[in-house]
Amino acid sequence: MTDFERKVYRIIFNMTRFGKNPSMEQLKRKTGKDEQVIRVAVKILMSKGELRDQKEEKWRSYLIKIKKPSLSFFLGNF
């Protein structure tokens, strides 16, 4: 995992721990990068299994894989 991928992962992880779902604008502000770079990092994290895409009704949501397989946090509308 690159430093930037780890940064995106930690932002998502920390925000979802407290029940907040980061928007693209929040990720752009916190990372200082543009949307395209953030989307690439998220796709890489998904391909590595660190984030998982779930489609539920009208939302697009993501689950963050935690070291213990039984625990995961919800990230929605991203």
Question: Which burial class, exposed, middle or buried, applies to 41 when counting CB atoms under 10 A from its CB (0-12, 13-18, 19+)?
Answer: buried
Residues 67-73, mean pLDDT to the nearest whole number? 43
Domains of the chain and any CATH numbers: 3-76 (1.10.10.10)
Q: Give start and end residues of each alpha helix (H) in the chain.
A: 3-17, 24-31, 35-47
DSSP class of residue 78 equals -
pTM: 0.68
Q: What is the pLDDT of residue 70?
A: 38
pLDDT band for 65, please (50, 70, 90 cuts): low
14 with 51: CB under 8 angstroms?
Answer: no
69 with 30: CB under 8 angstroms?
Answer: no
